[in-house]
A and B are shown apart, each in its own frame.
Chain A
Amino acid sequence: MSRIAVRKTYKLYIGGAFPRSESGRTFESLGQNVAWASRKDARDAVKAARGAFPKWSGATPYNRGQVLYRLAEMMEARAGDLAKSCSGRREVERAIDRVVWYAGWADKLPQVLGGSNPVAGPYFNFTVPEPTGVVAVLAPDMPVLEGLVSRIAPVIVSGNTAVVVISETNPIAALELAEAIATSDLPGGVVNLLTGYRAELGPILAAHMDVNAIDVTGAGDETTELEVLAADNVKRVVRGGSEQSPWEISAFLELKTVWHPVGT
């Protein structure tokens, strides 16, 4: 008699833990029951992301770079599972390489995106990029793993924390990724993954007053409602691309300029 496999239960990933939806709801996707995140799950995810922000943004860039690289290591180790959840091995490799590429940016951003400004007066003046805070990400449907990683990595590399609404057409890839994240050194709450419906969760996050930016790259062309809701706390609304680029990172950065007199 053949062995009956032990199946995996796919849950949410919030604050470094894997809770079920507080609503008790699930939906079936690709033959799996997946947690159907509710408004309150979104709230909890934002709370976890906000809680994780001071420490993650305050970590040294060297440390953040290493943690991202560690994520790539964990993905490599799970390449087989990940490949089954997306278009295959090649996509996994591209996704891993992308994480490595972004990992290297952590300690270069201020040099490329900031600098000193030669003001006309006895002042030293410099501009540094800083993370904007909690970022809601509406992940693209395709390519499911590479697309997801391409949106998460530029958000968190600078110190932002993310609440990601993952593709409802194929949530498994993200849930496999969650296991890589959980076993990497990313502190709990830096990346939070919600499975559920974009149409339900998107507006909740767009309207959330403690979310600083929303990435609508994966949301298609119909973003009007999200943008209207985002106006309430002047959220940054980002429509990015699928290429790897430091400008994908800078979309989630604030620029801080500091003045100090130069004198004796």
Chain B
Amino acid sequence: MAAKTPATRAVPSPLEWEYAPAPEAREIVRLEERYGLFIGGERVAPRSRKWFATTSPATEEHLADVALAGARDVDLAVQAGRGAFEDGWSTLRPAERAKYLFRIARLIQERSRELAVAEALDGGKPIKESRDVDIPLAAAHFFYYAGWADKLEYAFPNRKPRPLGVAGQIIPWNFPLLMLAWKIAPALACGNTVVLKPAESTPLTALIFTDICRQAALPPGVVNIITGDGSTGAHLVKHPDLDKVAFTGSTEVGKAIRRELAGTGVKLTLELGGKAANIVFDDCALDQAVEGIVNGIYFNQGHVCCAGSRLLVQESIYEPLVAKLKRRLRTIRVGDPLDKNTDLGAINSRMQLDRIRELVASGEEEGAEMYQPPCVLPEKGYWFAPTVFTNVAQSSRIAQEEIFGPVLSVLTFRTPAEAVEKANNTPYGLSAGVWTEKGSRILWMAERLRAGVIWANTFNRFDPTSPFGGYKESGFGREGGLHGLEPYLRFDR
């Protein structure tokens, strides 16, 4: 049935049809050479006189120099926050406070392309994810909490909610602007001021956000952004004039912060690591489960605290499922984060790449079977192919430790009770996935899984109305939803 094709035509054979490169233009991000600190509504040079480079992990290209805040800078930022808190923000009519947050939400929407490109450039995540997930969710988060600002008393019946004061907030590099929104939106809605430290490797969108604060005419000192490294974060946490600390990051650092704040009475929320089980029963919608597994572990290069990194497969479906999964892996497009068809971008940093490599090597040493689809990784930059380990023992490091990369460990189970037992057999408790067509089993599993978020027949969904946070060593406190207000309030009675 082959069509007759005139000799003049030089169309590539359809059998080799490939997507041409479709890079998003990056000109919309007007990079400055140097970014100072944002303190008291102004961009200021750091008293530390120190700067560091932020680079693109996809190309190792130098993007800009960024201030490294020292102890004195942190102090100035907290003072600015305290000043703004006492000088009007905490007593501003809540309805007016709300309007600032609505403005910010709109400004994020209006500048969404710029923010999406900056996020992909600075962090290495695919533009389709920053464009379709990070930035819209960040705007939605501000929109959601804006509405709470003048309704707090309805959220806490019989209590009198009051702002805490100045919040020190430390965010990770995996969802830079979104995590900023998760931190700043509820804090401001509740009448606090903030000093926020973006992650060392991804400061760009937070710095663009300072310009959004300017456009929103937010009173000076309500939001202060201090860039820096771990030492900056340590200075912030230790500052004696904070009323609140919120941290998202590794369990190890979270524990250190907890110790640091012992006895101070400073209110604390921690959103830490995870090693989520994604549990697949043999009656599930198989092709959709495969999509959920892929989304669960390869979304954002696996740099997701709630990633479904432990796949628990019912033994009766193991072989067809793994076959489908491997085939699906072969269609994952790894490469230029700015290409609109890229599914898996660059690993966020050299350090993270080293950690992934180290754990993957341990998996191989421990006798697990590794599969990676054929894919050509760029020579420059930090890359890691999507990886699946089968024949993984529960005791193996790759089944126990958070890899925070595109690496999936596959284990099996026989009965629902065994699945629950294996899923809960971890110090973490952030999230879990369940795939089955049987409603009663979903509810049975959801009741027994010790995790803060249970995704049933879906995975890695987020929404500003939906509380997020962990059990056990995955942290405490919730972000999102009505429950995300409590960490930023005290109560008079």
Instruction: Enumerate chain A interface residues (CB-CB to B < 8 A).
Output: 112, 115, 117-121, 123, 125, 127, 132, 212, 222-228, 230-234, 236, 239, 243, 247, 254-261
Q: Which residue from A123, A228, A259 sits with its C-beta under 8 Å from B259?
A: A228
Q: Given that A234-B272, A260-B456 are known contacts, is A123 also in contact with B467, CB under 8 Å in the complex?
A: no
User: Which single residue of chain B is at the shortest CB-CB distance from A260?
Assistant: B456
B residues in contact with A119, CB < 8 Å: 461, 463, 465-466
The reply to whether B476 and A259 form a contact with Cβ atoms under 8 Å apart is no
Q: Mark B441-456, 1 if CB is under 8 A from A, else 0.
A: 0100010000111111
Q: In the bound complex, how far is the Cα of B269 from the Cα of A236, in angstroms?
A: 10
Q: In the bound complex, how far is the Cα of B207 from the Cα of A192, in angstroms?
A: 53
The reply to whether A257 and B262 form a contact with Cβ atoms under 8 Å apart is no
Q: In the bound complex, how far is the Cα of B442 from the Cα of A231, in angstroms?
A: 33
A119, A224, A236, A243: most-surrounded residue (chain B CB, <10 A): A119
CB distance from B459 to the nearest CB of A (A): 9
Within 8 A of A (CB), among B461-476: 461, 463, 465-469, 471-476
How many residues from B make CB contacts under 8 Å with A? 45
CB distance from A62 to the nearest CB of B (A): 16
A residues in contact with B157, CB < 8 Å: 112
The reply to whether B467 and A234 form a contact with Cβ atoms under 8 Å apart is no
A residues in contact with B154, CB < 8 Å: none
The reply to whether B483 and A255 form a contact with Cβ atoms under 8 Å apart is yes
Q: In the bound complex, how far is the Cα of B251 from the Cα of A119, in angstroms?
A: 28
Q: Given that A224-B263, A247-B491, A258-B456 are known contacts, is A234 also in contact with B481, CB under 8 Å in the complex?
A: no
Does B255 reach chain A (CB closer than 8 Å)? Answer: yes
B254, B454, B478, B481: most-surrounded residue (chain A CB, <10 A): B481
Q: Which residue from B159, B251, B478 sits with its C-beta under 8 Å from A234?
A: B251
User: Which single residue of chain B is at the shortest CB-CB distance from A222?
Assistant: B263
A residues in contact with B456, CB < 8 Å: 258-260
CB distance from B286 to the nearest CB of A (A): 15
The reply to whether B255 and A117 form a contact with Cβ atoms under 8 Å apart is no
The reply to whether B258 and A231 form a contact with Cβ atoms under 8 Å apart is yes
The reply to whether A227 and B263 form a contact with Cβ atoms under 8 Å apart is yes
Q: Given that A234-B251, A234-B254 are known contacts, is A259 also in contact with B472, CB under 8 Å in the complex?
A: no
User: Which single residue of chain B is at the shortest CB-CB distance from A236?
Assistant: B476
The reply to whether B481 and A117 form a contact with Cβ atoms under 8 Å apart is yes
Q: In the bound complex, how far is the Cα of B454 from the Cα of A222, in angstroms?
A: 38
The reply to whether B255 and A231 form a contact with Cβ atoms under 8 Å apart is yes
Q: In the bound complex, how far is the Cα of B392 from the Cα of A87, in angstroms?
A: 61
B residues in contact with A225, CB < 8 Å: 262
Q: Given that A227-B258, A227-B263, A234-B254 are known contacts, is A125 also in contact with B465, CB under 8 Å in the complex?
A: yes
Does B457 reach chain A (CB closer than 8 Å)? Answer: yes
Within 8 A of A (CB), among B241-277: 251, 254-256, 258-259, 261-263, 265, 270, 272
A residues in contact with B258, CB < 8 Å: 227, 230-231, 234
A residues in contact with B261, CB < 8 Å: 227
B residues in contact with A127, CB < 8 Å: 466-467, 481, 483
Q: Given that A231-B255, A254-B452, A254-B471 are known contacts, is A125 also in contact with B466, CB under 8 Å in the complex?
A: yes
Q: In the bound complex, how far is the Cα of B483 from the Cα of A112, in angstroms?
A: 12
Does B427 reach chain A (CB closer than 8 Å)? Answer: yes
In the complex, the 9 A-B pairs of residues with the closest C-beta atoms, listed nearest first: A224-B263, A227-B262, A119-B463, A231-B258, A117-B465, A228-B262, A258-B454, A260-B456, A231-B255
The reply to whether A255 and B478 form a contact with Cβ atoms under 8 Å apart is yes
A residues in contact with B262, CB < 8 Å: 223-228, 230-231
User: Which single residue of chain B is at the shortest CB-CB distance from A263?
Assistant: B457
Does B279 reach chain A (CB closer than 8 Å)? Answer: no
A112, A117, A234, A239: most-surrounded residue (chain B CB, <10 A): A234
A residues in contact with B256, CB < 8 Å: 231
Q: In the bound complex, how far is the Cα of B452 from the Cα of A247, in angstroms?
A: 19
Q: In the bound complex, how far is the Cα of B264 from the Cα of A239, in angstroms?
A: 12
Q: Given that A117-B481, A224-B262 are known contacts, is A234 also in contact with B454, CB under 8 Å in the complex?
A: no
What would be 10 A-B contacts, judged by CB atoms less than 8 Å apart? A120-B463, A223-B263, A230-B258, A233-B473, A234-B475, A236-B476, A247-B491, A254-B452, A256-B453, A257-B453
B residues in contact with A125, CB < 8 Å: 463, 465-466
Q: Given that A120-B463, A234-B255 are known contacts, is A260 also in contact with B458, CB under 8 Å in the complex?
A: yes
Q: In the bound complex, how far is the Cα of B361 from the Cα of A59, in angstroms?
A: 45
Q: Which residue from A117, A118, A132, A232 sits with its C-beta under 8 Å from B467?
A: A117
The reply to whether A132 and B255 form a contact with Cβ atoms under 8 Å apart is no
The reply to whether A118 and B465 form a contact with Cβ atoms under 8 Å apart is yes
A residues in contact with B476, CB < 8 Å: 234, 236
Q: In the bound complex, how far is the Cα of B476 from the Cα of A226, in angstroms?
A: 17
CB distance from B105 to the nearest CB of A (A): 13
Q: In the bound complex, how far is the Cα of B454 from the Cα of A38, in angstroms?
A: 40
Q: Which residue from B427, B458, B468 sits with its C-beta under 8 Å from A257?
A: B468
The reply to whether B452 and A233 form a contact with Cβ atoms under 8 Å apart is no
B residues in contact with A260, CB < 8 Å: 442, 456-458
The reply to whether B458 and A259 form a contact with Cβ atoms under 8 Å apart is yes
Q: In the bound complex, how far is the Cα of B443 from the Cα of A256, in angstroms?
A: 12
Q: Which residue from B442, B457, B463, B468 sits with its C-beta under 8 Å from A121?
A: B463
The reply to whether A257 and B457 form a contact with Cβ atoms under 8 Å apart is no
CB distance from A234 to the nearest CB of B (A): 5
A residues in contact with B140, CB < 8 Å: 120
Within 8 A of A (CB), among B301-348: none
CB distance from A129 to the nearest CB of B (A): 9
The reply to whether B255 and A232 form a contact with Cβ atoms under 8 Å apart is yes
The reply to whether B454 and A256 form a contact with Cβ atoms under 8 Å apart is yes
Does B4 reach chain A (CB closer than 8 Å)? Answer: no
CB distance from B300 to the nearest CB of A (A): 18
CB distance from A125 to the nearest CB of B (A): 5
Q: Given that A234-B254, A234-B473 are known contacts, is A255 also in contact with B452, CB under 8 Å in the complex?
A: yes
Does B438 reach chain A (CB closer than 8 Å)? Answer: no
A residues in contact with B491, CB < 8 Å: 247
Q: Mark B419-456, 1 if CB is under 8 A from A, else 0.
A: 00000000100000000000000100010000111111
The reply to whether A259 and B455 form a contact with Cβ atoms under 8 Å apart is yes
Does B30 reach chain A (CB closer than 8 Å)? Answer: no
User: Which single residue of chain B is at the shortest CB-CB distance from A230?
Assistant: B258
Does B49 reach chain A (CB closer than 8 Å)? Answer: no
Q: Given that A117-B481, A127-B481, A234-B272 are known contacts, is A257 also in contact with B472, CB under 8 Å in the complex?
A: no
Q: In the bound complex, how far is the Cα of B473 from the Cα of A258, in angstroms?
A: 20
Q: Which residue from B259, B452, B466, B469 sits with its C-beta under 8 Å from A117?
A: B466
Q: In the bound complex, how far is the Cα of B472 from the Cα of A205, in angstroms?
A: 16
The reply to whether B159 and A257 form a contact with Cβ atoms under 8 Å apart is no
A residues in contact with B466, CB < 8 Å: 117, 119, 125, 127, 257, 259
